[in-house]
Structure 1
Amino acid sequence: MRAIAVTALGGPEVLHVVDLPDPAAGPGQVLVRVRAACVQPADAAARVGRLPGGPVPPPFLPGWDFAGDVVAVGATDSRFHVGDRVVGLVPWHLTRGTPGSYAQLVAADVDWLTELPTALDYATASTLPLNGQTASQAVRMLAGDGPLLVVGASGGVGGFAVQLARQAGRRVLAVANDHDQDWVREIGADEVVTRSAGPAALGQAPAVFDAVPVGAAAANATKDGGVLVTTRPTEPVDPARGVRRQVVLIRPDQRVLRDLVTAAAVGRLRTRVAATIPFERAAEAHRIMATGGLPGKVVLTF
């Protein structure tokens, strides 16, 4: 098979097409012919070696999200069949590149996957697993009756968090990119301010999800005694304020993934693809992602 490997730690230029032996589906696995893989900031972090626990020594395959077709089934699996359309998540923080989703074939544990309805195309589906499950977990961590402030509501994780919180009956306040306020209102935010205005323009909220993260600005927007959830560790908050800080760390959950995919297929959960790029041009995809402010995700197609 052909795949994209990180051949050295560094910029997008270290992403190269490589030829590798085809993987085989082991017990409890299926072999997936990948049709689309979402490009994530986490992939860029792996590429430059900025990872919890230290860098992964190259060469390795990046990539968390993928959608495709089952082409072989391991001996003990009965949930999926050859020809099934599937979408899933490589738990890259555990596999650390063996496998990654930037490949024509992925031997995937069946627990990583759920069925992909025909109503969703592969590229759109590939934007759901990592960002959607992270957002779902964050919203659960911030459960309550008061308003929820989402910082970074234009992005993949933040956009899903806005929708999931609104569907749970929460009042949602949001900070969006300066050109993306209309989108964030469309997906359910009750009040939206621009990134240039910052969270302070909305006052303080008892629950804040810093999906960027921006750090101190989000902490300052959290009420004393409130809860602040971030996607990465940020600077400490004055202990006297009693703010409970937590970092959301992805825990793959097949049931949650199935619910997200089902909701997207019937139009109850919205997502955006800004660009689809052939996988051979992965370096270009990473450069595009690095520009920031995109109206959606960049997806590699295979």
Structure 2
Amino acid sequence: MRAVAVTALGGPGVLEVVERPDPVAGPGEILVRVRAAAVHPADVAARIGPIPGGPVEPPFLLGWDFAGDVAAVGDGVPGHRPGDRVAGMVPWYQTRGSVGAYAEFLVARPDWLVGVPDGLDAAEAATVGLNALTARRALEMMSPAPGSALLVTGASGGVGGFAAQLAARAGLRVIALASTDDEEWVGSLGVAEVVPRSAGLAGVGPVPAVLDAVPLGPEAAAAVADGGTLVSTRPVPPVDPERGVRQEIVLIRLDRPMLAELMAEVADGRLRTRVAATLPLAEAAHAHRLVEAGRLRGKIVLVP
């Protein structure tokens, strides 16, 4: 099979298309033919090196989120048949590149996979896992009071966009920070107020809870009320302890029932996602350059 390997830690040029033996589903495993694989900032970080647990020694494969169809089923795996449409998430910080979605095939555990409802294409399905699970987990960590205000930074992005929708649907008054010239789309997510990135957060707050999905760090921290909650997607500078702000980092956790629920909500239109572009697997390096440049309107998805 063809796959994209990180051949050395560094810039996008270290990504190379390689030939590897076709994987085989062993007992308790499922072989998936990958039809789409999302490109995330987490992939960029792994390619460069600074990730939880320390850098991975090359060569290794990248890719968390994928969608495709079942190619073969190993012994002892009920409920799946060849041809079934599936999507899932590689628990990449556990596999550390021994399995990755930037490939024509991957071997998955059943608890990595959910079904893809009819009407949802593979590219869209591949954008759900990491971002929607992170958004849902962040909101659970915050436990904001019904009707209270929540500031979400990065609402134009994957985590922020899903979080803004889920929070608004839960009855929170969501203030969403939108990327430049993306205010219309963010405003369509059901939020109460859209703040253009060009305006900054100087006039926002104090609010009892902030999800810093970008993250912006001190700028977002300034908007949270004393005694409030600040959750970020990556480490940021600590808030002055005297302010009494509860500060946490949301870490991705694979949750199959939750993923199935979120996938169904995307399929029936209760949650919205965006695909900025689909690119061939061989253009993985270009995909990484686009992600690093920012200002995307949706996810870049590789199509093997």
Q: TM-score, normalised by structure 1?
A: 0.98
Q: 1:292 aligns with which of 282, 291, 294?
A: 294
- 1:185 corresponding residue in structure 2: 187
Aligned structure 1 segments of 4 or more residues deviating by more than 6 angstroms? none
- 2:151 corresponding residue in structure 1: 149
Separation in structure 2 between the aligned mates of residue 186 and residue 160 of structure 1, nearest angstrom: 12
Q: Which amino acid aligns with 1:242?
A: G
Q: C-alpha displacement at 1:81, in angstroms?
A: 1.1
Given that residues 62 and 97 in structure 1 are in contact (C-alpha distance below 8 angstroms), is that contact kept between their aligned partners in structure 2?
yes
Moved more, 92-101 or 140-149: 140-149
Q: How many residues get paired? A: 302
Q: C-alpha displacement at 1:216, in angstroms?
A: 0.3
1:33-182 equivalent positions in 2, closer than 5 A: 33-145=33-145, 146-182=148-184
Given that residues 193 and 201 in structure 1 are in contact (C-alpha distance below 8 angstroms), is that contact kept between their aligned partners in structure 2?
no
- 2:7 corresponding residue in structure 1: 7
Separation in structure 1 between the aligned mates of residue 104 and residue 84 of structure 2, nearest angstrom: 16
Q: Per-residue CA shift, 1:215-248, capped at 9, x if unaligned?
A: 0011111110011000011101100000001100
SS of equivalent to 2:60: coil
Q: Does 1:200 align with 2:230?
A: no
Q: C-alpha displacement at 1:206, in angstroms?
A: 0.4
Q: Which amino acid aligns with 2:143?
A: A
Separation in structure 2 between the aligned mates of residue 287 and residue 171 of structure 1, nearest angstrom: 35
Q: Which amino acid aligns with 2:285?
A: A
Given that residues 209 and 229 in structure 1 are in contact (C-alpha distance below 8 angstroms), is that contact kept between their aligned partners in structure 2?
yes
- 1:263 corresponding residue in structure 2: 265
SS of equivalent to 2:258: helix
Q: Which amino acid aligns with 1:158?
A: G
- Structure 2 unmatched runs, 5+: none
Q: C-alpha displacement at 1:201, in angstroms?
A: 2.3
Q: C-alpha displacement at 1:188, in angstroms?
A: 1.4
- Structure 1 unmatched runs, 5+: none
- 1:232 corresponding residue in structure 2: 234
- 1:17 corresponding residue in structure 2: 17
Separation in structure 2 between the aligned mates of residue 79 and residue 138 of structure 1, nearest angstrom: 31
Q: Which amino acid aligns with 2:60?
A: F
Given that residues 151 and 199 in structure 1 are in contact (C-alpha distance below 8 angstroms), is that contact kept between their aligned partners in structure 2?
no
Q: Which amino acid aligns with 1:151?
A: T
Separation in structure 2 between the aligned mates of residue 244 and residue 79 of structure 1, nearest angstrom: 43
